[in-house]
Structure 1
């Protein structure tokens, strides 16, 4: 039987002006699948040949074949771009003529036209290919990544406590705890991370922070740049509120204090009750 959303090896039965008909192995002529001329991609097709083609449904709901390679096959995860958003759902670029539909009920968060997200490809009740943002069930846990390893992840949602759900290499589950990030993070965003530890269930605890000394040095550079751009002064010091520091520098107060301490040890700044100044 033909598998929708996958490459199938099918026999070429006959040729028409507009393309070739392929044997769907159902024994019914009406079920033969059309390979349109435009979908041959210039390849030579001969009657009785067995060819590998991708099968999907066209805009008229007919099974259609193509030599084109989509960005993913059915039952796979793929990072796809949203090309339009409508009242009934969104459409994403799949690499073929027809875009993939993402029903409203399969959207775990608001999709934005032009942005890319991680989707699971499936066959719906009408045998059409569709996509879903609910991907957690299709990811695995792993302890193969050593603590301290640099990884890259795609955000695919948020837990109720504010922790960020991240897919590593589009295969494995990871989480960024709420106290590990200070910048705004959005679904579909690709983030460079570091493995902090492994939870008992195998899920990875991740952090966007560098190791402590690198984090401090990077923040020192940010503070110096801020001072240089504000006439050598700022209203923030080691007594400033955590909320003010987070809003301006996207860091915790503890990291901010450590960076100020490093700059003072290097005799680059001074602090008083009004804030911080360049020397």
Structure 2
């Protein structure tokens, strides 16, 4: 049986003007067009490992070119087109793959990359879904460690501000609302630090730095703000969390820690009106 959307080991059964026919052990055949040889010299009787899919005319064909994604796997693909019933993503071959509207967890934007799972639809055509949660794996115990930095891609957002992410495009993770200050859109690649590993194996991440590092960065940001505003700012440790987050993109707790460190260094002074540079 020839598998669509996957690699097949097939024997070259005959040569024709427009390519070669390949067959499996049951005699089922598929065409390998000349344009899909990828520079390889082919002989009748040899066995080739080829990827099988449907071309733009819906014909079953094979190729020696390497796709960016195969069926049953998750890949990071670019959206290259839109239609009234869905979108299309480039997976490295002549024909793009369809993403039905019902398989879009959010509005896909052309020229942006997202995580997709590839499957075979009811008509035996390759298709993609952005709803990848059920296809992600749970990491093995001790596979990751708290404080370890990892690569992740956001694949969905929750109404409470939590971000669902895939670590290494494979493992389920999340970033709680209070563990990120900037809004991160689906499809964005980020570096994050592991903060907690939950009992079910889900990995909790944070985009915040470790406390000392974050204080140092924030301290410099405060000093720069003061320099750019005549040595004064209408912020102190009594300011509202909302105003602090809007201006300095941090929590009130971290802001107070940074102010305390700067006062100990005698670089700033506070009063009821705000903070002054010394």
What TM-score, normalized to structure 1?
0.94
1:223 aligns with 222
1:1-279 correspondence to structure 2 within 5 Å = 1-24=1-24, 27=27, 32-142=29-139, 143=141, 144-279=143-278
Partner Cα distance (2:164, 2:241) in 1 = 25
- Tell me the TM-score normalized by structure 2: 0.94
Report the CA distance between 1:277 and its aligned residue. Answer: 2.7
Structure 2 CA distance, aligned partners of 1:234 and 1:119?
A: 46
In structure 2, distance between residues paired with 1:65 and 1:24: 12
Q: For residues 26 and 160 of structure 2, what CA distance do their matches in structure 1 show?
A: 52
Helix, strand or coil: the match of 1:80? Answer: strand
What is the count of residue pairs matched by the alignment?
Answer: 276
Q: Secondary structure at the match of 1:151?
A: strand
- Of residues 220-229 and 147-156 in structure 1, the stretch that sits farther from structure 2 once superposed is 220-229
Q: Choose 105-114 or 82-91, whichever is displaced more.
A: 82-91
Shift of 1:61: 0.7
Whole-angstrom CA distance in 2 between matches of 1:114 and 1:278: 46
Question: What is the root-mean-square deviation in Å for CA atoms of aligned residues?
Answer: 1.6
1:2–1:25 CA contact under 8 A, matched in 2: no
Query: 1:236: Cα distance to partner?
Result: 2.2
